[in-house]
Amino acid sequence: MAQIKKANGIGDWFDQRLATKKLAKVMMTEYWIPKDINFLWAMGVVLVVMFKLLIISGIFLLMYYKPDAKLAFDSVNFTIMQEVEYGWLWRHIHAVAASFAFLVIYIHMFTAIYYGSYKNGREMIWISGMILFILFSTTAFTGYVLPWGQMSFWAAQVITNLFGGIPVVGDAVVTWIRGDFAVSDSTLTRFFMLHVFLLPLMIVFVIVIHFYSLRIPHVNNQEGADIDFDAEADKYLAGNKKESKVVPFWPVFLAKDFYVVCVTLVIFFFCVFFFYDFSLPGVNFEPANPMVTPKYIYPEWYFLWSYEVLRGFFFDIGPIKAMDIGLIAFAFANVIFVILPFLDRDPRVLPAHKRPRFKIWFWVLMFTMVILTIYGKLPPKGINNVIGFIASMTFITLFLIMPYITKKDAKGAK
């Protein structure tokens, strides 16, 4: 047993039992982050703040929400929005934070791609991050169903139906997910369980893994420079703070993050109070009605790009139905980002502007994602189908040629 002495203060009392001083060093004051970074490096902390806002607002909503197909809509739109003191505030925060979380996830993700922060030892950061993306997506989808509006119902109908494309067991899987032959009360209650319990629990668990996976390979920097963290940390601790290439997580890195978080929250709260329609679309303020199909069915904006890859293939090829090709493309789009580190055959960690071919690849990908997102919302008719198809093909081709392009870049550098 450790030597326990009479403590000379409450801090010391805890330190003797929990090694709090050591813990603070490991987690905060001697957790080293490169100095050569920009505001995009703050997106992780911004995401943590968004996730906290979602949890806190979600807890308040949970106190009045009723997961029952007959009661859900009114419990949200009457009880929470109009009866409970500041219920509307928690709902607006919850909905807008979901959109903001996805916007920040995408910025975070494309930052990692641009700076090559997913390879050479950082594969686990990337993969755990992509698992978080999938968990967030599932959470957002199950959450969108809970108010039981028209789009809640029909989005659930369309998305659960996709699993019917799985060979042999498809129909059984759809029934298993819905808990019924059609989307109904049993679908709502199980989505409720997933949204408020199982998925958030898994997210918290994977966030811990995501943070831990950063410690060994360290955070990347703007130039992809290979930093000797031990040597630089010694320099910093010796007082050569200006010369050292690293800064401690607390207070230096967080001082900058805190500023970026505040700027984001100004925009966030502006949206919560004055500009929320993008997160709370009108069509979902209409009660779910299984008898009336809405004229246009579309998912939330953050799913539109993969939804468009699904819809992009609008014609049959020989014996293969358009729907099946779309489903294969959709499955491809949802897993391909996970294996990105293994598609990149260039061993160097460099920002895209130092990799001539990859740079073009990156910007084409960015524009393709935006085009897919926009056309995922537009009605699928006429020229929209053609543009959607071309964008979907471009998306798939980009990933198929990635190994070749990155290899070429690596060769060109020698």
Partner 1 sequence: MRELKILGVVVFFTVFTYIGVNTYAYSVMKPAVAPADFQFKDLPRNDKIGDASRGAEVFMNAGCIGCHGLESQGIPAPMNDADAAASFGVVPPDLSNAGLIFDSHFLAAVIKNPAKAMLNDHKFNESNPHPMPNFYGLGGDIDQELADIVAYLQSIAPEKVSDEQVYVDACMQCHSIKYTGLMSNKDPILMAKYMGSVPPDLSMFIRSRGADYLETFINNPQKHLAGTAMPRVGLTQAAQEQVVAYIEYAGDRKKDERESLGIKVLGFMIILTILAYLWKVKIWREVH
Instruction: Give the pair of three-digit tokens for residue 410.
Output: 């690596």
Rounded to 10 degrees, what is the CA torsion of 299, 305, 311, 317? Answer: -160
Torsion angles phi and psi, residue 320, rounded to 5: -90, 125
Q: How far apart are the first and last CA of the chain?
A: 57
Which is closer to partner 1, CB of 161 or CB of 384?
384
Minimum distance from CB of 370 to partner 1 (Å)?
Answer: 5
Minimum distance from CB of 360 to partner 1 (Å)?
Answer: 16
Minimum distance from CB of 290 to partner 1 (Å)?
Answer: 15
Helix (H, G, I), strand (E, B) or coil at 246: strand
Which is closer to partner 1, CB of 52 or CB of 411?
52
Nearest to 196 by CA among 268, 142, 233, 276: 142
Minimum distance from CB of 258 to partner 1 (Å)?
Answer: 5
Which is closer to partner 1, CB of 245 or CB of 357?
245
Nearest to 253 by CA among 26, 24, 36: 36
Minimum distance from CB of 252 to partner 1 (Å)?
Answer: 6
Task: Identify whether the C-beta of residue 143 lies closer than 8 Å to the C-beta of residue 195.
Answer: yes
Which is closer to partner 1, CB of 185 or CB of 286?
286
Which is closer to partner 1, CB of 78 or CB of 197?
78
Which is closer to partner 1, CB of 176 or CB of 270?
270
Instruction: Give the pair of three-digit tokens for residue 302.
Output: 């953050």
Minimum distance from CB of 197 to partner 1 (Å)?
Answer: 28
Instruction: Give the pair of three-digit tokens for residue 269.
Output: 């709260």
Beta bridge partners of 404: none
Nearest to 281 by CA among 377, 188, 185, 376: 377
Minimum distance from CB of 378 to partner 1 (Å)?
Answer: 6
Q: Judging by DSSP bridges, how do beta strands 246-248 and 32-34 pair with one another? A: antiparallel
Instruction: Give the pair of three-digit tokens for residue 126.
Output: 């990337």
Which is closer to partner 1, CB of 227 or CB of 247?
247
What residue ranges bind partner 1 (CB under 8 A)? 35, 38-40, 77-78, 81-82, 88-89, 92, 103, 107, 241-242, 244, 247, 251-252, 255-256, 258-259, 261-263, 265-266, 269-270, 272-274, 277-278, 280, 282-286, 295-296, 301, 304, 366, 370, 373-374, 376-379
